[in-house]
Structure 1
């Protein structure tokens, strides 16, 4: 191996190591330190700094980075939800986005909802900085058609049954297990009868190599996400709750899933 090739390989490894350290420090690492130091517990205590500090939000909310984290399947996952919204008659109805998400999922789903006739979209998040950042991305394009509400996905203050579609994109894997169940219960409580929940999440891969790689990723960065593979599989949770018709489509060797659940 030439010296140039060796140096290039070392440079790539250093960049990957630094990137990994950055994401660990701004996600699970911070929560570990918080627990060890006995930090004050609040309803937002489970939220990683990368999703709550405005500087970090602006730094990371960059489409190529978000696409890479989801193994470049991000456009396919969002398109599945967008196609569902476009095929739904939302004339005069309201749409809820439960928790802000990075990338272009919000503008794409809002645009699809409005194209289907929705009169208003409500974006709800427990973190004020996320809402402010979302507003800065969306306000010029959508104006007063989007309302921004500071609310907890696991204990919503919004009016029960007000929405006919609810989008929850990669939130569950970050929540403590008992809050995963509460978030799904609240997602359903917000929907009118016949309303649809569109849920994007990680999924247990079918390929053994991907299982090992995914398991390692979750153990290091997102340990709460592994429960989605078995005990807190969202499809099983919704079916156990009753009152849902549930469909699931998986993507990229089973690494990701879009769940479409209709409230009966």
Structure 2
């Protein structure tokens, strides 16, 4: 579904730490050019947001990677969490189920259609959750606002300059001692039987994703960032990774 003319407002009774823009934000040029068919076209959400398709795209690893995210969230999670970019599938629903009574989850996306799709999948009303249109590379919220920030398969879709800005923003808004959780592609083992298939998919459909094979995610962090790598876990012959980072100052 394409962005609507109306601004998506935060869920009632849950004031988001992210400030909603007074007017709808424009769709970035790279997204309109490269990913219109996946996220922006009116039929995109209806077609792609199906469990079997998401699992096929991730070569049978969707549930495993979702479980990897939930490992970082206790069943009685408290504090404030920012999810940067909506994700097809049931990940945000599962995060909702993990929220403690006093917890907060803010979900941002540049596309109102993606926000509305996520809203439909959540149990409502829920005063702990807000959905706000926002640009990942220019978060409209104060420094040190969140206890944790999640990016689930977002950096590989961004041009390098936007990726660097978005990661910088993620660390700006997380509190010292807070965590940034990144689930992304990773350079597979040389013997991986699907290595060349995945590379072909990248070349045809996701031209920025090969950066995940050429570099570590930490290569795109701000040069002056003070952080510690809590853990780096790879999955499925190292084709995927989960990186858990603590901002130390």
Please give the range of the TM-score, normalised by the shorter of the 2 chains.
Answer: 0.7 to 0.9
- Distance in 1, matches of 2:27 and 2:228, equals 31
With 234-243 and 254-263 compared, the bigger mean Cα shift is at: 234-243
Give me the TM-score of the superposition, normalised by structure 2: 0.81
2:247 corresponding residue in structure 1: 263
Distance in structure 2 (CA, Å) of the matches to 1:94 and 1:258: 20
Displacement of 1:176 in angstroms is: 0.6
In the alignment, is residue 97 of structure 1 matched against residue 83 of structure 2? yes
Residue 120 of structure 1 corresponds to which residue in structure 2? 104
Q: Which residue of 2 aligns with 1:251?
A: 235
8 Å CA contact 1:54, 1:130 repeated in 2 = no
1:146 aligns to what? 129
**1:86 match:** 74
Residue by residue, what CA displacement relative to the aligned partner does 1:203-258 show, whole Å, maximum 9, x if unpaired?
11013343322222211111110011124x21333385531112211100011111
Alignment-derived partner of residue 106 in structure 1: 92
- The answer as to whether partners of 2:228 and 2:247 remain within 8 angstroms in 1 is yes
Q: Which has the larger radius of gyration?
A: 1
Residue ranges of structure 2 left out of the alignment (5+ in a row): 1-25
Contact kept, 8 Å, 2:155 with 2:184, in 1: the verdict is yes
Matches within 5 A, 1:170-209: 170-208=153-191, 209=193
Classify 1:251/1:239 alpha carbon distance in 2 versus 1 (closer, same or farther; 3 Å). farther
Alpha-carbon distance change, 254 to 239 in structure 1, aligned in 2, over 3 angstroms = farther
* Corresponding residue SS for 1:196: strand
8 Å contact from structure 2 (residues 86, 118) kept in 1: yes
Maintained 8 Å contact 2:112/2:133:
yes
Q: Say yes or no: does 1:167 pair with 2:163.
A: no
Q: Is the 8 A contact 1:98 1:125 kept in 2?
A: yes
| 1:71 aligned partner | 59
| 5+ residue gaps, structure 1 | 1-41
In structure 2, do the counterparts of structure 1 residues 136 and 154 end up closer, same or farther at CA, with 3 Å as the change threshold? same
Q: Is the 8 A contact 1:78 1:105 kept in 2?
A: yes
Residue 133 (str. 1) matches residue 117 (str. 2): yes
Q: Identify if the C-alpha distance between structure 1 residues 250 and 118 changes in structure 2 by more than 3 Å, giving closer, same or farther.
A: farther
| Aligned counterparts of 2:105 and 2:137: Cα–Cα separation in 1 | 19
Greater per-residue helix proportion: 1
Query: What is the Cα-based RMSD across aligned positions, in Å?
Result: 1.9
